[in-house]
Amino acid sequence: MSIRLQNIAKHFANTQALEPINLDIHEGELVGLLGPSGSGKTTLLRIIAGLENADSSPQPGKILFGDRDVTNVHVRDRRIGFVFQHYALFRHMSVYDNVAFGLTVMPKKRRPSNGEIRARVFRLLEMVQLQHLANRLPAQLSGGQQQRVSLARALAVEPDVLLLDEPFGALDAKVRQDLRRWLRRLHDELNFTSVFVTHDQEEALELSDRVVVMSNGRIEQIDTPDTLYRAPKNRFVFEFLGDVNHLEGRVRNGVLTCGDAHLNVDLPDGDEELQLRPHEVRLAEEPSAESHLPVTITAISPVGAEVRVELEADWLAKPWLATVRHADFERLHMRRGQRLFAHPRQWHRFKEDAKTPEQQAGTSGLGTASAAG
Binding site for another protein (CB under 8 A): 49, 51, 75-77, 80-82, 84, 86, 88-92, 101-102, 105-106, 137, 139-140, 150, 153-154, 156-157
Angle at 363 between CA 361 and CA 367, to 5 degrees: 105
CB of 147 to another protein, least distance (A): 13
Q: Which is nearer to another protein, 156 or 228 (CB)?
A: 156
Q: Which is nearer to another protein, 150 or 234 (CB)?
A: 150
Q: Which is nearer to another protein, 94 or 257 (CB)?
A: 94
Which DSSP letter does residue 30 get? Answer: E
Report the distance separating Cα 348 and Cα 243, nearest Å.
13
CB of 181 to another protein, least distance (A): 25
Q: Which is nearer to another protein, 8 or 80 (CB)?
A: 80
Q: Which is nearer to another protein, 78 or 262 (CB)?
A: 78
- For residue 20, give every residue at least 6 positions away whose Cβ sits within 8 Å of its Cβ, in sequence order, or none: 7, 8, 9, 59, 61
CB of 152 to another protein, least distance (A): 12
Instruction: Give 111-120's long-range contacts (Cβ < 8 A, gap of 24+).
Output: 120/156
CB of 99 to another protein, least distance (A): 10
Contact in structure between 185 and 19 (CB atoms under 8 Å): no
- For residue 63, give every residue at least 6 positions away whose Cβ sits within 8 Å of its Cβ, in sequence order, or none: 3, 4, 5, 6, 8, 47, 48, 54, 69, 70, 71
Q: Which is nearer to another protein, 33 or 49 (CB)?
A: 49
CB of 268 to another protein, least distance (A): 54
CB of 90 to another protein, least distance (A): 6
- Per-residue buried b or exposed e for 248-283, using 16+ beta carbons within 10 Å of the residue's own CB: ebebeeebbebeebbbbbeeeeeebebbbbbbbbbb
